A and B are shown apart, each in its own frame.
Chain A
Amino acid sequence: MVIELYLDLLSQPCRALFIFAKKNNIPFEFKHVDLLKGQHSSEEFGKVNVLKKVPALKDGDFTLAESIAILLYLSRKFNTPDHWYPSDLQKRARVDEYLSWQHTAIREKGCQVFLTKVLVPFIIGQPFLPEKFEEAIKELNSVLKQFEEKFLQDKLFIAGSEISLADLVAIVELMQPVATGYNLFEKRPKLAEWRSRVEEAVGKMLFQQAHEMIMNVENLSTTPLSPELREQLKQQLLKH
């Protein structure tokens, strides 16, 4: 039986998984869970992931949530090239260090930018609040500085001379604010160069394919939301 990956490419961690699986020719069945249709809240999906979040993996009877856990599982099961999660202890530690830090830094702040500019306005049907957006940008800028100074420094990639899971997880998160129109790479040449290298290492076509939906997120806002769905998504948003 082939592995099932439950994904919505609007979600950053889903993109990381999609890119990783495709890049490494890992056979999988793409099970689309449409977030904007509220499909993640379905009882059926709840059987795959009781936390009702994407991404999720199903490998026979084994189910797994959390993109980082899934990335690591796939890298081990399919013996992907060493550079993704280096066997060298110190390089590996660098990857682990980034994967840990990013939850409450790049991921959190990147999400917040997307929420304030696109998602919240879409769900509640109101224009975005400029002050909230500015504040979110400010917070993001602060972690971007830490990213460049502590994690990237003068290296080609986070763990050294080759791309790893750390870079993949970072890039998909950074594309979320970019999709809202905030070109964070613009005045950051080092970061922009790193992005080019990551795109190159992943494969430009695959990278673009993975990001097609999010980069066209404005078009999605024209899809009308049913009142029940709007209410359901609103409730989930309130938890933020």
Chain B
Amino acid sequence: MGLELYLDLLSQGCRMVYIFAKKNNIPFEFKHVELFKDSILGKKMPGGNTQEQSHDGQPYREEFGKVNILKKVPALKDGTFTLAESTAILLYLSQKYHTPDHWYPSDLQKRAQVDEYLSWHHTNIRANAPKTLWIKVLIPLFTGQTLPSEKLQNVLKELATSLKQFEEKFLQDKPFIVGSEISLADLVAIVELMQPIGVGCDIFEDRPKLLEWRSRVEEAVGKELFQEAHKMILNIKELRNIQVDPHLKEHLAPVLMKMLK
């Protein structure tokens, strides 16, 4: 049994793992988890423990539950070993498959700078960028309500602060976060920043340095692979037409409203 990666490319964490694995020719089985059919917030799967074997994403419900009891994507299964958390998965893959040094440099200080970014990312860029998707698309989709524009404005303001710190502390005048070559840090950052792009918040618009960095990252990853990974999030109109399971709607609505308090 080979490596299995449980992914939904709507999720930033999944995109970074997908891009990394593809770019490094790491053989894996893509197990598609559809976030809007399967529960995403650690709650019980709606509909209980079904054992359907159809091929539209349903069969992985049960299996997925065993793989990752937090029921979040991405998740990895390597034989009997299971792993959650995109950062942990990236590090595991980079070490197991001996990917090129620049992804997670052996140089002590450069490696520390990657670690530093990966840590800071959680409570800064990652805390804000995804909210744009929730406010503009997901919350209206699940609750039927549109939020007042000031909610989005506040999120964009916080994101602007994070982006300023990103440019001043992490990027500075370097081509990439750690220096002259792309690393896990850039990959983790870019997928998160594509989330607002998907919903029409062009955060690169008034930030030429950031835009240049983005081009370099796309180039280093490979434009085709980058576009393939981001196809879903950039076609957000299709998302608006998704038929949402009424049970899921019921489950998620109160949680979503709380998320945005």
Contacts and interface: CB of A to CB of B under 8 A. Distances in A.
A100 to B, nearest CB: 4
Interface of B is mostly: helix
A205 to B, nearest CB: 29
B120 interface: yes
A97 B83 contact: yes
A104 interface: yes
A185 B111 CA distance: 36
Contact of B70 (A62, A64, A68, A146): A146
B108 A149 contact: no
B122 A146 contact: no
B95 interface: yes
Interface string A128-161: 0000000000000000001001100000000000
B42 interface: yes
Contact of A73 (B87, B112, B122, B165): B112
B216 to A, nearest CB: 23
Contacts of A70: 112
A97 B88 contact: yes
B112 A89 contact: no
B85 A100 contact: yes
A182 B239 CA distance: 44
Interface residues of A, number: 29
A65 interface: yes
Contact of A93 (B42, B88, B168): B88
Contacts of B123: 103-104, 108
A62 B120 contact: no
B42 A100 contact: no
A141 to B, nearest CB: 14
Contacts of B88: 93, 96-97, 99-100
Given A97-B84, A97-B88, A149-B69, A64 B116 contact: yes
* Highest count of chain A CB atoms <10 Å: which of B83, B96, B115: B115
Interface of A: 50-51, 62, 64-70, 72-73, 76-77, 89-90, 92-93, 96-97, 99-101, 103-104, 108, 146, 149-150
13 contacts: A68-B119, A72-B111, A76-B111, A77-B108, A89-B95, A93-B81, A96-B91, A97-B85, A97-B88, A99-B88, A100-B85, A100-B87, A101-B84
**A-B complex: 6 closest residue pairs judged by Cβ atoms:** A69-B115, A96-B88, A103-B122, A69-B116, A66-B119, A97-B88
